[in-house]
């Protein structure tokens, strides 16, 4: 089981320097556990940086995992 914290998800979404590292865990859908606090933190950060639609899209992707 892989638990990815908010910073890992944000790095993955912005395709940051460590995105490939987190992609290995995130894209293994059968092994990912998404804590509720991560949903909240990612939504809040994307809402501040972008907009509500992008934040909701990110949360939808996280919930699929």
Mean pLDDT, the chain, integer: 96
pLDDT in the model for residue 29: 86
Rounded to 5°, the CA angle 33-29-35 comes to: 15
Average pLDDT, integer, range 35-48: 97
Does the pLDDT of residue 18 top 90, yes or no?
Answer: yes
Return phi, psi of residue 45, to 5°. Answer: -70, -45
pLDDT in the model for residue 65: 78
CA atoms of 17 and 60, how far apart (whole Å): 23
Q: How many domains does the chain have?
A: 1
Domain containing 50 equals 2-64
Average pLDDT, integer, range 18-40: 95
């Amino acid at each position: 089981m892989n638990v990815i914290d908010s910073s890992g998800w944000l790095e993955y979404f912005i395709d940051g320097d460590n995105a490939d590292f987190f992609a290995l865990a995130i894209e293994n859908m059968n092994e990912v556990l998404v804590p509720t606090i991560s949903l909240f933190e990612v939504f809040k950060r994307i809402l501040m940086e972008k907009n509500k639609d992008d934040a909701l899209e990110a949360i939808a992707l996280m919930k699929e995992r």
